[in-house]
Structure 1
Amino acid sequence: MGKSIRKYILILIDVLLINIAFFMAFFLRFDYHVVEPYFTLYRQSFIIFTLANISTFIFFKQYHKIWRYVNLKDLIDLMVVITMGSAVSSLILFLLQIHLPRSIYPLSWLLNIILIISSRMFYRYIMSNSKVKIKNIVFKNTLIIGAGSAGQMLIRELRAHPEIGLKPVAILDDDKSKIYRSMEGVPIVGTLDDIIKAVKENEIDEVIYAIPSASRTVLRKVIDSLSELHMKVKTLPGIYELVNGKVSVSQLRDVDINDLLGRDPIKIDLDEISSYIKGKRVMVTGGGGSIGSELCRQIAKFNPSHLIILDIYENNMYDIQQELLRKYPDLRMTCLVASIRDEKKLNIIFKEYKPEIVFHAAAHKHVPLMEDSPHEAVKNNVYGTLNLVRCANTYGVKRFVMISTDKAVNPTSVMGATKRICEMIIQSFDRMSKTEFVAVRFGNVLGSNGSVIPLFKKQIAEGGPVTVTHEDVRRYFMTIPEAVQLVIQAGAMAKGGEIFVLDMGEPVKIIDLARDLIRLSGFEPDVDIPIKITGLRPGEKLFEELLMTDDKYTSTKHDKIFIEKPGFNDYDGLVLTLEKYKSKIDDMDTYEIKEFIKSIVPEYNTPEHVTLDEVVATTINSK
């Protein structure tokens, strides 16, 4: 039924109800028998009474509302409008010298309210409980966790979209005062402690968690309680997103590991960030990767004058390019396929585009792979960073922010050690450059390319086993968006030379992470999906560190960001060493490369140490 037809039908219904209310007022006032001359007064005034009320309804847009979603505020608004309509009609009748018995006015007003509000409530009831036949849809009994505004909106949305196939039959909420009451006609049957009982008694097929404001410990309680039933839990987008129409209930999704490990939203200083990015030329290296692409997304929100995305892998960069073109059609953006190893190409790019801010996220990051290809780790991570830093210094970049890693602290891997050298490059160049060079160090990000989460998901999908290197291995985790927000915030706070360290929270045991993912997938760990311990891989630690020493850091105005001190400042020694061996890297074997790294990073833990110059000289001469 079209909107116009529905509107006219509603007006006709209101005309009928208003007339019934007006006549009933006379009928009750005169003890069920309206005699002359009062019946004449009724005939003279009913058209005026009807038109005055309908005109008031139209003026206050009562026919623009969607009455299938009527709530208490809508009913109060309607009551006010009915009162105003009665007042307008009374005024017109007074001006026309049509004097009705005084009791007619309150009686007609009261009857008007009763009939019209009842009609709205009846319409809402009919629409909410109407059965829509949809082929091939089997409705699932659904348990809603949360009897707040999010839960209420969810129930309405599910009823408005029967094609989703979810039927709300019970609600749980930890507010005991709500128990044995109902919301939107759905009974509130208990607290979260009653979840197993509620699932069994109501033959629940789906559980939806609808408490956006609750801590993640509440969600974990739900997951743990349902683990024995092998039941998945879906979650709801934020209630304010639903209110603003940004998402629909059809975007309900399974609870994932981000919901359990992520923390409460991070507070960032939007004004501070906006002031240093807005209107600036910003370059992101590695812009197609997990961190780089998220950097591009968030930077685009702050209206840079030009976003330059640089990456060697064109497919990933194409994806983020297309995404940003859809979301920010007015954004000036250039995507360049180039390697940070190519110093000549980088000079051409910096000279042409003149970036004012650089976020350096390009790197080889896979620990085991870099153990087998240390030459590539050195050439890409170390010399690539050196190329970028020199270009930034030469072409007047104002601020250079490098993404580092917790694996750079007391490194045991080639990857971690090369990132530590990158930190040293950053700090040493800051001493002699007008560019503000800083590094931001953090741990693992959830769901990034090549991280443990996608691997576990793939293994679970294949039926297991899920492989964990050691029962006691622990890692720090952050979600990609929260890590990037803190990186951008740290960039706003930079004065030059700092290594910013992000508060990663408490480290997580990887074996617990594996068990959580198995449960979230609807299986029981070690029963449906086995977990296999494979042993630590080359370069791996049992645990990671974020600070070189525990006592050498200072707080910042942001409670999630710290600064490690003191910094590295031997610019001449570092650059001379890097230049000396730049042309010899490809001629070294794996052991020699690791010894070269150790000569720069003494805390790098390698087997046995010999003099680097002796090793290289012997190798070169023999070739």
Structure 2
Amino acid sequence: MILRLLRERLPNHLVLMTRRVKQTLMLAVDSVLLIIAVWAAYSLRLGEWFVPNPWQILLMMTAPLLAIPFFLAMGLYRSVIRYMGEQAMWSVVKGMSLAALSWAVLAFMTQMTGIEGVPRAVPLLYWLLGTVLVGSARFAARWLLWLPMRKRFAGRQALIYGAGDAGRQLAESLRSGRDLFPAGFLDDDETLQGKDVGGLRVYPPSQLPMLLERFDIHDVIVTLPSASSARRREVVALLEQHRVRVRILPALADIANGRHLVNMVREVDIGDLLGRDPVAADPALLGRCITGKAVLVTGAGGSIGSELCRQIAALQPGSLVLLEASEHALYQIHRLLQSVLGCELVPCLGSVSDAGLVTRLLAKHRIETVYHAAAHKHVPMVEANVLQGTRNNVLGTLTLASAAFDAGVETFVLISTDKAVRPTNIMGASKRWAELVVQGFAQQACARKSGQRFCAVRFGNVLGSSGSVIPLFKEQIALSGPVTVTHPEVTRYFMSIHEAVQLVIQTGSLASGGEIFLLDMGEPVRILDLARNMIRLAGYTVCDEANPQGDIEIAIVGLRPGEKLYEELLISSTNAVNTAHPKIMKANEPSLDADSLSEQLQQLRKALVDCDEPTVRRLLMTLAADQGCSKHSEPVAVT
């Protein structure tokens, strides 16, 4: 018990000591060890337990007095024990040789004075024992001081390829960090191999397999700033033969000039760009529609859908079904969730427009909650592919909502967009139609008193999504510009993808049926200001009329087809009310009566079958832009 406490607490206590206290402690330990070495030398030479007389005790006491000055001169008390390399043993040997020689001269001089003499083998034995004891004490101290670090960085040690200036500076930086710790260097220079640089051993690259196993290495960082591109490719090719993550440190001069900063900094955060902090989620609202329930997420591999899946997985659903049309996206999110989800996880490759597929899924897995995130949402792409965008966004929502209604799904949440308000593009108009479809099923559920809740949640852009300007701006900044902005006055609402999805999950718990929820996106942001902030965050200056010598230019390229200068969240500014959550409002937006909606959908289907794009476009834009829609309490039969 005592030994275990010493092993756990003593290393931490030693690490917390000041350097002066550690040096004093080491000096005291060396003094005791040298006296022990002299006594042991006598005992070994005489072959018995040696009991010294007063004169011999005095001679023993002089051993540390003679040795310590030599040790000081050799720098044995200047080096940091924790980072001391094997080269320190050579310093111990040299210091101990001088100490033993001076002690032998003193010992034989006392013999000449008539005092009881010293056997000639004792100085030699003293040198040998002193070297072993003093050297072993240092390496034992280093091992003891490293115990806390070994526990802290178990499995997180890294090798540095290149023991030059950049590698040494990186090693020092890693030592003071919390994520990785340097285990040693790899270097092609044979004159460095086997030596210690900054307290770390330099190994030849051929020993990499042995090092990976010995130190449990998962990362190798290449620091060859002056090497050619061909040489770096060779090194990377060598490392990729092993199961390690390879990283490359750019040249320090390039980092200082800001050339690589945009790729090295963390992801741009909402607080950096908007000066706005997200509101903490309500745990009761988060779990109400998910914990212990069978949940289906459509578009599960997209930016919104995948974040939905990650947050749902943390809320302990009974089962989670992933519906995704892209095989690669489905594979990625399924692989990610496999390691963290403790319940049934079902990947399903298919489209929401496949009525047979969604009907079987809902029935087989007894789905209770649906988050419908599948949509074609890129404005220019949908504008160029009107028929396919309409089939997916409108008829796909109709197919899924109809199947969910028939299957008795408890909660259905449509992920909508602020572009559905007074839309000027096909994407926004198709999402407004999807809202009307969901409103229709909500009224049917209310009329039948089934207890089912159909709702939609409407919000603006999310940072980091596949359609966000943030990744585009980062890519353009990394290429030294220009950064493209469509119009100097264009504004958009922004929210972090994590916060947006948290709020989406909570809207399902707040729904009673038929609502369109609105997320508080804060104040709209000018895209031009966003671009300027992104450039400054990356460490560059904007090149404009006021600063023609700036680093990166902002180019105004003009509005894209169907793009608006600003977006809105409400069709009518008077019908939004607060909810129990401060960042979620709800609105009862205009809806269609049963006959009108059914007739419109039939016309839309016929136009899609005939591939009549002008008619599809006219139907979408006319209905979505109609602000004369009236609300009805009777059930809406959606066919």
Shorter-chain TM-score bucket reads: 0.5 to 0.7
Give the aligned partner of residue 504 of structure 1.
521
Partner AA of 1:553 in structure 2: A
Aligned position for 1:319: 332
User: Deviation at 1:493?
Assistant: 1.2
Is residue 2:462 matched to residue 1:445? Answer: yes
In 2: Cα distance, 1:442 partner to 1:318 partner: 28
**Other-structure match for 2:304:** 291
SS of the aligned residue for 2:471 comes to: helix
Q: 1:301 to 1:530 in 2, by over 3 A?
A: same
1:496 aligned partner, one-letter code: G
Offset at 1:396? Answer: 0.6
SS in 1 for 2:339: helix
Q: CA deviation at 1:461?
A: 2.6
> What is residue 599 of structure 2 aligned with on the other side?
576
Output the amino acid matched with 1:281: A
The match for 2:411 is 399
Distance 1:447 1:267 in 2: 20
Structure 2 residue runs of 5 or longer lacking an equivalent are 22-75, 87-159, 186-197, 199-255, 544-549, 628-639
**Aligned-residue RMSD, C-alpha:** 3.7
Q: Does 1:481 align with 2:509?
A: no
Larger-gyration structure (1/2): 2
1:277 partner SS: coil
Moved over 4 A (4+): 55-62, 122-125, 127-134, 139-142, 153-164, 229-235
1:597 aligns with 2:620: yes
Aligned counterparts of 2:288 and 2:182: Cα–Cα separation in 1: 44
Q: How has the CA–CA distance of structure 1 residues 452 and 354 changed in structure 2, closer, same or farther, with 3 Å as cutoff?
A: same
Report how far residue 431 of structure 1 moved: 0.7
The answer to whether the Cα contact below 8 Å between 2:294 and 2:369 also exists between their aligned partners in 1 is yes
In structure 2, distance between residues paired with 1:397 and 1:405: 23
> What residue in structure 2 maps to residue 305 of structure 1?
318
The equivalent residue for 1:48 is none
Q: Report the Cα offset of residue 466 of structure 1.
A: 1.4
The 2-side partners of 1:538 and 1:593 are apart by: 17
Residue 488 of structure 2 corresponds to which residue in structure 1? 471
Q: Deviations over 1:363-410 (max 9, x none)?
A: 010111211221112111000000011001001100000100010111
Counterpart pick for 1:70 among 16, 21, 35? 16
Instruction: Tell me the secondary structure at the aligned position of residue 288 of structure 2.
Output: helix
| Cα drift, residue 551 of structure 1 | 2.0
Change (3 A) 1:125 1:479: farther
* Number of residue pairs aligned between Structure 1 and Structure 2: 417
Q: 1:426 to 1:138 in 2, by over 3 A?
A: same
| Cα distance, 1:326–1:56 mapped onto 2, change above 3 Å | closer
Change (3 A) 1:572 1:265: same
* Identity level (%): 41
**Is the Cα contact below 8 Å between 1:375 and 1:586 reproduced in 2?**
no
Give the deviation of 1:523 after TM superposition.
Answer: 2.4
Partner of 1:148: none
Q: 1:266 to 1:348 in 2, by over 3 A?
A: same
Give 1:417's aligned amino acid.
A
Aligned residue for 2:560? 537
Instruction: Tell me, in whole angstroms, the C-alpha distance in 2 between the residues paired with 1:391 and 1:58.
Output: 63
Mapped pair 1:354 → 2:366: yes
Residue 584 of structure 1 deviates from its aligned partner by 2.5
Q: Distance in 2 between matches of 1:253 and 1:163?
A: 26
CA distance in 1, matches of 2:467, 2:180: 41
Superposition map of 1:387-466 within 5 A: 387-433=399-445, 434=450, 435-466=452-483
1:373-384 aligned at under 5 Å gives the runs 373-384=385-396
Q: Which residue of 1 aligns with 2:244?
A: none
- Aligned residue runs from structure 1 range 225-244, under 5 A: none
How many Å apart are 1:473 and its aligned residue? 0.6
Q: What TM-score do you get using the length of structure 2 for normalisation?
A: 0.59
What does residue 270 of structure 1 align with?
283
Runs of 5+ in structure 1 lacking a partner?
A: 1-54, 76-121, 143-150, 168-228, 236-250, 605-623
Deviation of the 1:345 alpha carbon: 2.4
Q: Which amino acid aligns with 1:515?
A: R
Q: Distance in 2 between matches of 1:123 and 1:497?
A: 77
Deviations 1:91-126 (A, max 9, x none): xxxxxxxxxxxxxxxxxxxxxxxxxxxxxxx99994
Asked if 1 retains the 8 angstrom alpha-carbon contact of 2:270 and 2:277, the reply is no
Quick check: 2:286–2:505 contact (8 Å CA) kept in 1?
yes
Aligned in 2, Cα 1:140/1:593: closer, same or farther, shift over 3 Å?
Answer: farther
1:138 counterpart = 2:166: yes
Distance apart, 1:163 and its partner CA: 8.0
How far apart are the structure 2 equivalents of 1:371 and 1:541? 13
The secondary structure found in structure 2 opposite 1:583 is helix
1:460-510 CA-to-partner distances (Å, cap 9, x unmatched) read: 233322111001111111111110000001111111111110011111111
- Report the secondary structure of 1:495's partner residue: coil
| Contact 2:572–2:589, Cα closer than 8 Å, also in 1 | no
Q: Matches of 1:267 and 1:513 in 2, distance apart?
A: 25
- Give the residue type in structure 2 aligned to 1:481: H
Which moves more between the two structures, 308-317 or 582-591? 582-591
* Residue in structure 2 matched with residue 364 of structure 1 by the alignment: 376
